[in-house]
Amino acid sequence: MTRKATYRQVPTETVDVGGTRFAYRKLGAETGVPVIFLHHLAANLDDWDPRVIDGIAARHPVVAFDNRGIGASEGRVPTRVEAMARDAVAVIRALGYDRVDLFGFSLGGFVAQVIAQDEPQLVRKIVLAGTGPAGGEGIDRVTRASLPGVIRGVLTFKDPRHYLFFPRTAEGQAAARRYMTRLKERTDDRDKAASPLAQRAQLKAIRAWGKQAPSDLATIEQPVLVANGDHDVMVPTSNSDDLARRLPNAQLRIYSDGGHGGIFQYHEEFVGEVLRFLEGTSPPSAANGQPARRKTSGRAAIS
């Protein structure tokens, strides 16, 4: 049985985790391994692209939640990725799950890696998008890297994600406008924006992750799909290559003319890749131990 509500309609619920209420939304199939969505810097529930959520929820249970201190979730925002991972595990268990797939975008990808290392029995498969490993290239400089896009957003009266997530080409900016329009489709029960204090705490966690010594990713034995655009200005795309080389069971998808939000720019193609991966129909890694790498191109989806 499948829940018929789309992401724009599904109600926001809360779950108690040790006396702290976490806000979440659940939709999709009633049975099967749930896909847990782990979010980016300063993002709340309304910042997930509904085309990606609904596309995956068409065949799988999906749960998205606000991190501690973000949106409608209570508490103080952690300043370490490891603490965010502990929160995520606690939410997953409070919802009654003992086996999940993880979908980590950007900061959420850092969190997913820690969960897979600390709680391997909990995780079946992992999608890592627009993210990188601890100590990865340029991750500790995310504030400096983001500043030009933030300034340009202020000067053009646009959300900075126009320039941080998408290329500054005509096609890239058209995709950005479509993405921002999709984020506004939900009109009722909207989530609260992250406060400046919450954003600073998350930035501190990201910088600490970027300065950490690289961890042994060979311990993550689950199948992993790594995806990104080929021109990520926030978490340089080289980090995606690095992840895929170091993970023992990884596949890599790089979207041409795409940025940090390449998975949203090419959402139709990306959702198809994720569904094939989760359902075991993706091409396996190359026989020589190197990740199966495919660089894709084409026009962004029109909706």
5 assigned to some structural domain:
no
- Range list of β-strands (E), the chain: 13-17, 20-27, 35-38, 62-65, 100-105, 123-129, 224-229, 250-255, 292-296
Classify residue 35: in a domain, yes or no: yes
Q: For residue 222, how far is the Cα from the chain centroid? A: 17
Residues 6+ apart with CB under 8 A from 62: 26, 27, 28, 34, 35, 37, 53, 56
- Asked if residue 57 belongs to a domain, the reply is yes
Does 18 reside within a domain? yes
pLDDT in tens, the chain (303 residues): 445 689 999 999 999 999 999 999 999 998 999 999 999 999 999 999 999 999 999 999 999 999 999 999 999 999 999 999 999 999 999 999 999 999 999 999 999 999 999 999 999 999 999 999 999 999 998 878 777 777 888 788 888 899 999 999 999 999 999 999 999 999 999 999 999 999 999 999 999 999 999 989 999 999 999 999 999 999 999 999 999 999 999 999 999 999 999 999 999 999 999 999 999 965 544 333 344 455 454 444 434
Q: What is the CATH number of the domain that holds 44?
A: 3.40.50.1820
Residue 287: per-residue pLDDT: 32
Per the domain annotation, does 263 fall within a domain? yes
Q: Which strands, in side-by-side order, build the sheet including 35-38?
A: 13-17, 20-27, 62-65, 35-38, 100-105, 123-129, 224-229, 250-255, 292-296
Q: How many domains does the chain have?
A: 1
Q: Is residue 199 part of a domain?
A: yes
Q: What is the mean pLDDT of the chain?
A: 91
Instruction: Confirm whether 3 is domain-assigned.
Output: no
H or E segment to which residue 179 belongs: helix 170-183
- Angle made by CA atoms 271, 53, 246, in degrees to the nearest 5: 55
Domain that holds residue 264: 13-296
Task: Please indicate, yes or no, if residue 151 is contained in any of the structural domains.
Answer: yes
pLDDT at 148: 76
Query: Distance (Å, rounded) from C-alpha 57 to C-alpha 272?
Result: 12
**What is the model's pTM?**
0.91
